[in-house]
Amino acid sequence: MTVTVQPKALTNYKARDFRMLIDGNWVKTEDGSTLERVAPGHGVIVSRYQAGTKPDAERAIAAARRAFDDGPWPNMTGAERSNLLLKAADLIAARADELAHLDAIESGKPISQAKAELGGAVDIWRYAAALARDLHGESYNTLGQGTLGVVLREAIGVVSIITPWNFPFLIVSQKLPFALAAGCTTVVKPSELTSGSTLVLGEILAEAGIPSGVVNIVTGTGPEVGAPMTTHPDVDMVSFTGSTGVGRLTMANAAQTLKKVSLELGGKNPQIVFPDANLDEFVDAAVFGAYFNAGECCNAGSRLILHRDIADEVTARIAELSKKVKVGDPLDPSTQVGAIITPLHLEKIAGYVSGARDAGADVALGGEALDLGLGQFMAPTILSGVKPEMAVAREEVFGPVLSVLTFETTDEAIRIANSIDYGLSAGVWSRDFDTCLTIGRRVRAGTIWMNTFMDGASELPFGGYKQSGLGRELGRHAVEDYTETKTLNMHIGARTNWWMPR
């Protein structure tokens, strides 16, 4: 039986009304229409955002273009931009509880986890601030007496930033501070399901002293607001995190004007487990990897590839531990798995489970939605006997559903791991150094965890192979991603003429 935490009604909570930030002003959309956000864990309206339109996106792009072309932001020193980012980090830390609460009620994630994400986000803003002072190019004094070469790093220009609903504040923090550190100006579109904390970030940046037009935040749907942000000729780069399908569309849209694109997309991440692994540690990591953020996580460890000799024992141990995971009220500090983002998404998750059952998989645990009186929830679910060709082993379920596959040889494990279109992250569990390194080098994914899962740090690049994305976020190159290189080829002394050699 799943341990549940009954959601408490949000009786005293007053829904927040948000405006959009365009050119330093908090504005409504022309006809005043709004999108209402129903809290997935409580079933009541908690936020109203402006239902922005294409003209709103165009106004924001024009403001960002002016702010870039006329300054002052791109012309400020790295130290000045760094100081502003540090001030923003302090203000985010000061409002972390408010921001975490907004993320928890709008997305349905547990409040304890939302607070941890805010802590991570503050660290990223500080890290980006440090990088702002270290952005530099190269010089070549080795090209002969007549030439000095200097390679500049220049801000790329206006960047469209489009984010998903599953980590609302954390993901905008993986993009915006690095774009700002480079000297770019931006138009940000948060998910229409979880825009609140990004709009509060707009207030924070205004308080920190960001010049008007440098950060614009437009709310609304993808087709209405996001699409023009990917096609408009005045946008120089699109930084997108979301589904692989919309990522593909974004790349096609950006191709019309040959914009640079950075894409962080879906994942179906394997954890490969050998018999010599520390199974106590692994079982805990498997449960964490599968149910963290209710499995609505690009990095979810949703595909276990267990050595045949240990598969039955390990699956049983994971099922036992899964029964202890607390599912329910996102605002209860003891909750570990919160609500599912929308009723429609819950149906999609349930569809994957019934499809797997029809294809011959066994439901070893859960498999059902949970009725907790308010909101929508899914029981932690384990599917055993999953074959590599089944949809549930190849596609992103984006729910608390763990698929268990088996292998006999290392080559077979690697073949199964690499047999799908995604390549975001992977885990390997073994006490043998050679085994870990072999998997680490041969599995095609942007991050490989060895004897751990889903750890991260601002210093470590993150992103996907194959259809999990393009480019990397975080790490010391993250600011460079928002720059162009420019070559200054400088001549010293008399030139050799082309038409009349001396």
Q: Does 51 bind ligand NAD (CB under 6 A)?
A: no
**239 or 410: CB nearest ligand NAD:** 239
Alpha-carbon distance 200 to 88, whole Å? 12
**Is beta strand 16-17 parallel, antiparallel or unpaired with respect to 45-50?**
parallel
Q: Widest CA span of the chain, in angstroms?
A: 90
Site string for ligand NAD, 466-485 (x = CB under 6 A): ---x----------------
Q: Minimum CB separation from ligand NAD for residue 154, in Å?
A: 26
- Round to whole Å and give the CA distance between 423 and 463: 9
Binder of ligand NAD out of 264, 329, 480, 481 (CB under 6 A): 264
Tell me how many degrees the CA angle 53-39-22 measures, rounded to the nearest 5: 30
CB–CB of 80/415 below 8 Å? Answer: no
Residue 161: name the closest of 194, 193, 184, 135 by CA: 184
Q: Is 396 marked active-site?
A: no
Assess whether 264 carries a catalytic annotation: yes
Catalytic residue among 264, 296, 396, 480: 264
CB 187, CB 137: distance < 8 Å = no
Is 103 near ligand NAD (CB under 6 A)? no
Encode 252-266: b = buried (16+ Cβ within 10 Å), e = exposed.
ebbeeeebbbbbbbb
Per CB under 6 A, does 266 bind ligand NAD? Answer: yes
Interface stretch with ligand NAD, choices 77-85, 263-271, 375-383, 476-484 (CB under 6 A): 263-271
Is 246 a binding residue for ligand NAD by CB under 6 A? The answer is: yes
The answer to whether the peptide bond before residue 72 is cis (omega within 30 degrees of 0) is yes
Residue 94 structure tokens: 């000061």
- Amino acid at position 315, single letter: T
Does position 73 interact with ligand NAD (CB under 6 A)? The reply is no
Q: Report the C-alpha gap between 402 and 287 in whole angstroms.
A: 9
Report the chain's terminal Cα–Cα distance, integer Å: 90
Identified binder of ligand NAD from the candidate list 21, 84, 111, 162, rule CB under 6 A: 162
Q: How many residues bind ligand NAD (CB under 6 A)?
A: 32
User: Can you tell me which of 226, 380, 400, 475 binds ligand NAD, judged by CB under 6 A?
Assistant: 226
Burial class (CB in 10 A: 0-12, 13-18, 19+), 447: buried
- Asked if 298 is part of the footprint of ligand NAD (rule: CB under 6 A), the reply reads yes
For ligand NAD, the binding residue among 62, 218, 227, 379 (CB under 6 A) is 227
Q: Per CB under 6 A, does 165 bind ligand NAD? A: yes
Min CB(323)–ligand NAD separation in Å = 27
CA dist., res. 425 & res. 271, Å (int): 9
Looking at the Cβ atoms of 398 and 453, the one nearer to ligand NAD is 398
- Shortest spacing between CB 351 and ligand NAD, in angstroms: 16
Residue 487 CB, nearest distance to ligand NAD (Å)? 32
Among 2, 4, 185, 241, binds ligand NAD (CB under 6 A): 241
> Could you tell me the CA-to-CA distances from 73 to 69, 184, 209 in Å, in that order?
9, 8, 11
Burial of 491 from C-beta contacts in 10 A (0-12 / 13-18 / 19+): exposed
Q: Does 342 sit near ligand NAD (CB under 6 A)?
A: no
C-beta nearest to ligand NAD: residue: 222
Does position 423 interact with ligand NAD (CB under 6 A)? The reply is no
Given the residues 298, 436, 473, 480, the one annotated as active site? 298
Binding region for ligand NAD (CB under 6 A): 162-167, 171, 189, 191-192, 221-223, 226-227, 230, 241-243, 246, 249-250, 264-267, 298, 396, 398, 424, 464, 469
Would you please indicate which residues are annotated as catalytic (active-site) residues?
Answer: 264, 298
